[in-house]
Each structure stands twice: as C-alpha cells, then as structure tokens.
Structure 1
Amino acid sequence: MLRWFLGGSRQSGTATGGQSPVTNIVGHHATVINQIGETSEVAERRHHEQMAALEHLRQEMAREKGLDPVVLKPIFDHLDQGDLSLDEIREKAEEAVQAILERARQPPPTSNDGADIDATIGAARAKLATLDTAGARGLLADKIAEEETARRHRLIPLLQEQAAIERLTYDHAAAQTTLRRLAELSPDNTWVWIDLGDILATTDTVQNAAVAYVRARTVAERLTQADPENTQWQRDLSASHSKVGDIQQTQGDLTTALVSHRTALHLSQRLAKANPENIQWQRDLSVSYNKIGDIQQAQGDLTAALDNHHAALCISQRLALTNPGNTQWQRDLSVSYNKIGDIKQAQGDLAAALNDYRAHLEISQHLVLTNPENTEWQRDLSVSHDRIGNIQQEQGDLASALISYDAALKIRQRLARADSGNTQWQRDLSVSYERIGDIQQAQGDLTAALNSYRAALDISQRLALADSKNVEWQRDLSVSYNRIGGILQAQGDLMTALDSLCSALDIRQRLVWADPGNAQWQRDLAISLGRVGRCQAVLSRTEEALTALNRGRDIVLSLQRQSPGWAVLADDLALFDKIIASLDADAPPN
C-alpha cells in the first residue's frame, strides 16, 4: 500500500517549484504540527501565568484579613473553574468570606433530631468562624456517614421481616424487590444473596437464581480469605457452594455440581470435626452427604449414593433422638428415609423401599398434624403418597396405587391453587397427573389417561417455555410427549403418535449431548428410541425401527456395565431383545 500511495500516476509530473505533491503535503503537515506545538506552549505558559496571578491574589487577600492562605484555597479553587477575571474572582471571594462568617455567627437552630446532630452542626459552624470550610465539611461528612450506617443497620432487620412476610403471603414479586434492596444495603451478607437465589429458583429462572448463588459464594470466599478462622464465614461458604451445586444440577451439569457439593462437604466435615457438639454443623454435614448421594444416583453409581445417604441417615437419627420435639430434625430424618427408599427401588428391592417410604410417610403425617399450615410439610406428605404409589404400581396393586396418587394429587392441587407462581408446586402437580394417567392406562381407560397426560403436558410446556435452561423441566416435557405418544399409538393414531414420540426423543438427545454422564438421561434416551422404534415397526418401517431399537439397546448395555446394581436395566434389555428378535424374524431375507 505504501508503494502504491507514493508511486501515484506516471502522468502526475511535478508541482509548483519542481516539488512532488507528496513533498508539499509532508511539508504542510510539518508546518501544521509545528504551529500546534507552538500554540500548545503558549497556552501552557498563559495557564501558568494565570495560576501564579491567582495564587498571588489569594496570598494578598489572606494577609489583608489576617488569615491562613490555606483556608481560602477551597473558595479560590472553585472560582477558578469559571470564566472570571481576577477582579471578579476577588469580589466573589470577598462575598464568600463575608457569607461564611455570617453563617458562623448564627447559632445552630434548636431541633428534635438529637443532641449529637445539634452538636455536629455547632462544631461545623465553629470551624466556619476561622473560615475552615474543609474542616466543617469533614465533620458533617463523617456524621452523615455515621447516620447512614445507623439507618442501614436499622433498616436491615425490618426489610428481612418484610421479605419473610411477603414470601409467606406468596407475594413473590414484592419479596424479590425487598431482597434486592437488602442486597444493596448489605452486599456482604452471604445469606441475603442465598435468600434471593432461593426465591428466584422457585419463581423466576434458573439463570437468575444462579447469579444470586454465585454472588453469595463470591462474598463468602472473600470474607473467609480475610479471616480464615471465622467459623461462621466457613459455614456460609459451605452453604453457598451447596446452593451453587443445586443450581448446577438443575442446569444438567452433574460433574461440576458434584465438585461444588464435595467442596461444601469438605468444609462441613472440618467444622463438625472441630466442634462435634455444634448441632447445626452436624446437620449441615448430613445435608452435604444427601446432596452428593443425589448426584451419584443421577450418574448411576447407586452403591456410592446409598453409602452417602446412609451417612446422612445416621446423623439425622442421632439428632432426632436427642430432641424428638425438633421438627427440623424430624423432617431431615424423613428426607433420609425417602432418599434411601429411592435407591432401594432402583436396585429392585421393592419391599425395603416400601418400608423406607412408609417411615417417611409416618413422620410427614405427624408433622402436618402439628401444623397443617406448613406448606413444606404438606408437600413432603404428597411426596410420600407419590413414592408409595410407585411401589404399589410396580407390585401390580393398581387400586392401592391410584388411592396413593389421588391423595398426592389433592394436596398438590391445593398448594398450586394457593400459589400459582411457585414453579415447584406446579411441577409437582404435573407429576401427579402423569402418575394417575399411568394407572388409568394400565386399567384400560385410554381416554381418561390421555386427558391426564394432556393436563401434565400443559403444565410442562408452560414451565419449559418460561425457562429453557431448566433441564428438569425439559425432561418433564419429554415425559409428557412420550406418555401421550403411547396412548395415541394404542388408539391407532400412529402418525400423530410418532410425532409426539419424536418430540420426546429430540429433547432427550439434547439433554444427553449436554451431559453424557447423566445415567438417568441416558436411560431416558434409550426408552425414547425404543418407543420410536416400536411405533415405526407398527408402521412397517422395519429398517428404521431396527436402527432405533439397536441404538437404544446399546445404550442400555453400556449403562449395565457402568451400573450393575441398577435392577430396571435388566428388564429394559430383555424388552429390547424381545422386540428386536420379533422384527428380525419378520424381516425379509437379504
């Protein structure tokens, strides 16, 4: 480019004086640059002259009035910012001095704002008597900061109580606003950010909840680094890691979630070991064990999951025995029974699972009787009925399962009506519709089952659209599509059924791509492939059906190698083998 620019055209010839155009341009630029430099030097010299004149004026005025020149500096500094002559600056400075001294002579007004406020104003005016405006402003600034801090401290407990009441009355928008205001007033309070994250997790998006939880962790990390021996901050850090882990699990990132929960466990273990008598730290330890067990179960490591849930159960049993009247510890115990029941069911030990679920039910019923208005305990009770219904259905007792599912449904309908903004309760309701639909389908009432599944789909679609980052809701949507596809296929509407089944398959494929280590999602994908394959087989698309079925079978085989204790996989494999064998037998020879 430089060669092209300097070369120009062969016909350009020479400019006036025999010089090329480029030479003229360069010379002109040099002249301009020199002029700019000279102008800059002149401006700088004039500025120094003006500053010197202003300083001379300040010193002269201070001598005339018998003042320290320093006290006049704030006045002159601000007058210099205007477009004033030296005479005008002197006139304005004289006016300011007279006004300041006049204010100093005025006694502070009597007020009802407190003696400390009056004293500060009096001290500021005393400073004005010597024209020490900087000193007067400093006194006032210190007192204002003190009052703002005191007001902030007084506001915080009031706002905390306001947020609690807003949440109790399901005014989630107001509670969010109050908690955000609290976060502004107390940005270094880890639990304000955790509380904000909690309400966002159930009434807003996972992404917004994650922002609040990560902020809580950042605050806790900074405080802990500043004072590593502060056990309260150590506990806050553990709690924030646990919350971040929860949201990572909801987003489908099991590997990172497990790291977060293990960090929380490490902190909890250290605290519990340092002071075994601290009941709260013991409870925190049990919560960490349960969280890790949940992740391991999702990854298909049932043995490790059971070990961690048993560790949590031992702590919960010990705490519950020391104080049977403590409802929190009783609830913790019920949660441990429930989680162990889930593992036993996955391992195929239905009798043991049912015993654990009934232990959970007994505690939940007792808690609800002590306080029927506690919505958390009401939800726990609905979960108990749901889990027991699952076992009864698996055992073939459809009538009892329907009773259990209906008991759960009634509770969930009541909770969802009371707080339509609570996404967890809305999801629970969709699960109940699906469970009842399963029984109706097993009993041969396909029309009723389809209505139940569509009720579940309506909720699942609404939740999935509200937050596409919530992978649990995406999975729920795939379950609804699968259920509806199954009914439509049984009713003979094969093409519509295949569309619904393929919608479920698409979602499940995306979830597996997002987190290949999630064993449950791998099994979901295998089931979808099996359902799509069976529908294609009925449509006489044998080659496509076998492709889907063999792919699903391969996934199940891989899961069996990873999780040999996962009992249901043997049934899955047997079903795949049976369907594939029947299609192979019907396939025309090559």
Structure 2
Amino acid sequence: MRRNVGLSQLKLVRVALDDSDPDRARTAAAESLRIRRELAAADPQQGSLQWDLAVCLGTVAETAEPEQARPLLEEALGIWRQLASGDPDDASLLSNLFDCLYALADLDAEHFRDLTMEAAAIADRLTDADPGNTGFQRRLLRSSWRLGDMDLRAGDLACAAGHFAGALTLAQRLADDDTGSVDAQRDLATALRRQADYALANARPEEVRGHLERSAEVTEALVQRFPRTGALHRDLAESRERLGDWLRDTGDPALARDLYRLALASRRRRAVLDPEDTASRLAQAEVHARIAALDEAAGHRGRARRQWREAAELARVLEAGARTSYFEQRLAAMS
C-alpha cells in the first residue's frame, strides 16, 4: 500500500513539472522520496524497492536546484550501477542508467567526460541490441550531440562532423518514419540547430542560415498543430532568437529585428500557457534588450527606450537583480 502511495506522489511530481508548477512539484517530490527511502531501508535486498528509490531520486532532482540535484543523482547512479552489475543485459535498467549519467554529467564538470563516455557506451549497446527501438535511438541522438560538443571544445572538427552529421541523419529518419511524433519532430529541429553549431565552428557560414531556418520551420509546423502546448512556443522562440542572433552578427539587423519580434510573440504565448516558467519570461526580457540594442544602434532612441523599459520591468517583476540593474542603466542612458 505504501509503495502505491509513493507512486501516486511521484505521478503528482510529473504532473506538476508538466504544468510548470515547481513549488507543487517539490512538495510532492519530498513526500515521495521520504516514502521511497523508508521502504528501501526496510528491505535493502529487494531490488524493486531500490529501483523505485533510484527513479524517485532522479525525478526529485528535476525539481531541485543544481547544488541539491547533484547528490541526488549521485545516489541514484550508485543504485543503478549496483542493479546493473546483477543484470547487465536488462535494457530497461540500462536505459535508466543512461538517463542518470546524462543528467549528472550536466552538473559534474570534473567528471563530465567520463560520465559522457559511459553514457555513450550504453547508448551504443542498447541500439545494437534493438535497432528498432525509438527510445534507444533517441538516447543515441543525445549521446551524439554531447560527444560532438566535446569534440568542438577539443578542436577536433573531423570527429565533431561525424557526430553531428550522424545525429542529423538519424533524427531525419526518425521524423520521416513517424511524422505524427512530436518528440521526433522536436529532435529533428534540435539536430538542425546542432548542425548549425558545427557549421559555425567550422567556418562554413553559408550552411548556418539554412540549418537554422529549417529548424525554425519544423518547430513552427509543430506550433501550428499544437497551439496550446507551451513548450513548443518556447522552442519556436529559441529557434527565432538563434536565427536572429546569426543575422544580427552577419550584418542584417532589420531582418534580425523582425525575428526577435516574432520571438517575443512566442515568449508571450508561452507565458500565458505556462505562467510559472520564469526562465522563459526572463528570456523574453533578454529579447527586448536585443531589440533595444538594434534600435539604439540604428538611432531610433524612442523605440530603444520603450524596449529597455519593457526589459527592465520584466526583470524587476522576476526579481532578477543584476539584469534589472543593467537594463535600468541602459534605459537611464537613453533619457
């Protein structure tokens, strides 16, 4: 019975996360974790209870700040590794181990490479064992992007090219095989943006714009299909901002400004659908700042003041102290 109560609490966490309600998610997560710990401690040899605890730790980590999330993921990783040592071919167990390694790598700079390589080896094992499993293929995608990032940081453009190009080919195939899958289409949009990252790093600007434009087109098509899904409006805003940044930096400020204004519309829609997403609202303030800087450079001081004011007011509401001060300073300089 208590195990079922813990499961119910964990479901509440997922619902709250989907609703962008972090406070409700944290409350449910704390209760679920308390129950899971008690059950696992009462019967430490029961693998299913250890499994439940590891899943719960990972979910609770999603609701926590980075400094609290890292020890939770480290504890979960220890459990997954112990379980995997007893059943090294269990695909579901390996999938959970991959997810834990991948999440922890984001928070552990010292061991980032080792965690990433371990996760990549698991992704390869899973896809080799079951090439038709979409979930395994998506883990391989994530692994390829991260390996490509490591190659870029190391200056190994040849290896990075293989990882990003391979990921784009895989993402395109998955999207073509299941045109109705939102996840597959989002992965394709991400793969196109990551290919643009590689093209930029490899001094191939003629390819960057095409990849970014196509990524935005894929995301816009998703928004048209699912207009009430806030995460898709956030994705579209990010795609437009990325393309706007590239156009601004390559000498087309007018078109960049148009894209930033479209991005603002997407950010505002996201705020309506998911008002608890403060990160997206702060990103909206940053878009106002981008537009303000373009207007200021073009000599449109009145328009620039309005945009700096919008940015400052949003940052103030969100209690973003440093950014509020910066925006207010820029606004004062325009007076």
Instruction: State TM-score, norm by structure 1.
Output: 0.49
CA distance in 2, matches of 1:300, 1:184: 46
CA distance in 2, matches of 1:244, 1:426: 26
SS at match of 1:247: coil
The residue that corresponds to 1:179 in the other structure is: 29
Once the 2 structures are TM-superposed, how far is the Cα of residue 289 of structure 1 from its aligned partner? 1.0
CA distance in 2, matches of 1:339, 1:391: 14
The answer to whether structure 1 residue 236 and structure 2 residue 96 are counterparts is yes
After alignment, is 447-456 or 232-241 more displaced? Answer: 447-456
The Cα RMSD (Å) is 3.2
The residue that corresponds to 1:206 in the other structure is: 66
Structure 1's 311 and 444: CA in aligned 2 closer, same or farther, altered over 3 A?
same
- Do the aligned partners of 1:431 and 1:456 also contact (CA within 8 Å) in 2? no
> Which 5+ residue runs of structure 1 have no aligned equivalent?
1-150, 466-476, 494-590
Larger radius of gyration: 1
CA distance in 1, matches of 2:204, 2:275: 37
Structure 1's 365 and 419: CA in aligned 2 closer, same or farther, altered over 3 A?
closer
Once the 2 structures are TM-superposed, how far is the Cα of residue 159 of structure 1 from its aligned partner? 2.4
The residue that corresponds to 1:459 in the other structure is: 315
Structure 1's 421 and 219: CA in aligned 2 closer, same or farther, altered over 3 A?
farther
SS at match of 2:107: helix
Report the AA paired with residue 245 of structure 1: A
- Aligned with 1:429 (options 263, 284, 304): 284
Report the AA paired with residue 226 of structure 1: G
Once the 2 structures are TM-superposed, how far is the Cα of residue 481 of structure 1 from its aligned partner? 5.4
The residue that corresponds to 2:266 in the other structure is: 411
The answer to whether structure 1 residue 195 and structure 2 residue 59 are counterparts is yes
Structure 1's 422 and 313: CA in aligned 2 closer, same or farther, altered over 3 A?
same
- Do the aligned partners of 2:101 and 2:119 also contact (CA within 8 Å) in 1? yes
The answer to whether structure 1 residue 335 and structure 2 residue 193 are counterparts is no
The residue that corresponds to 1:163 in the other structure is: 13
Identity %: 23
CA distance in 2, matches of 1:306, 1:462: 41
Once the 2 structures are TM-superposed, how far is the Cα of residue 301 of structure 1 from its aligned partner? 5.1
- Do the aligned partners of 2:308 and 2:327 also contact (CA within 8 Å) in 1? no
The answer to whether structure 1 residue 399 and structure 2 residue 233 are counterparts is no
SS at match of 1:373: coil
CA distance in 2, matches of 1:364, 1:459: 27
The answer to whether structure 1 residue 266 and structure 2 residue 121 are counterparts is yes
The residue that corresponds to 2:47 in the other structure is: none
- Do the aligned partners of 1:198 and 1:209 also contact (CA within 8 Å) in 2? yes
Aligned length: 319
The answer to whether structure 1 residue 246 and structure 2 residue 106 are counterparts is yes
SS at match of 1:228: coil
SS at match of 1:405: helix
Report the AA paired with residue 220 of structure 1: W
Once the 2 structures are TM-superposed, how far is the Cα of residue 361 of structure 1 from its aligned partner? 1.3
The equivalences for 1:163-562 within 5 A come to: 163-187=13-37, 188=50, 189=52, 190-200=54-64, 205-248=65-108, 253=109, 256-297=111-152, 302-416=157-271, 418-419=273-274, 421-446=276-301, 448-449=303-304, 452=307, 455=311, 459=315, 462-463=319-320
SS at match of 1:186: helix
Structure 1's 371 and 456: CA in aligned 2 closer, same or farther, altered over 3 A?
same
Give per-residue Cα distances to partners, 1:110-166, cap 9 Å, x unaligned. Answer: xxxxxxxxxxxxxxxxxxxxxxxxxxxxxxxxxxxxxxxxx0233244323322333
Once the 2 structures are TM-superposed, how far is the Cα of residue 335 of structure 1 from its aligned partner? 0.5
Once the 2 structures are TM-superposed, how far is the Cα of residue 379 of structure 1 from its aligned partner? 1.0
- Do the aligned partners of 2:175 and 2:184 also contact (CA within 8 Å) in 1? yes
SS at match of 2:106: helix
- Do the aligned partners of 2:164 and 2:198 also contact (CA within 8 Å) in 1? no
Structure 1's 300 and 429: CA in aligned 2 closer, same or farther, altered over 3 A?
farther
- Do the aligned partners of 1:220 and 1:236 also contact (CA within 8 Å) in 2? yes
SS at match of 2:180: coil
CA distance in 1, matches of 2:328, 2:144: 34
CA distance in 2, matches of 1:295, 1:451: 41
- Do the aligned partners of 1:166 and 1:174 also contact (CA within 8 Å) in 2? yes
Report the AA paired with residue 21 of structure 2: D
Once the 2 structures are TM-superposed, how far is the Cα of residue 450 of structure 1 from its aligned partner? 6.1
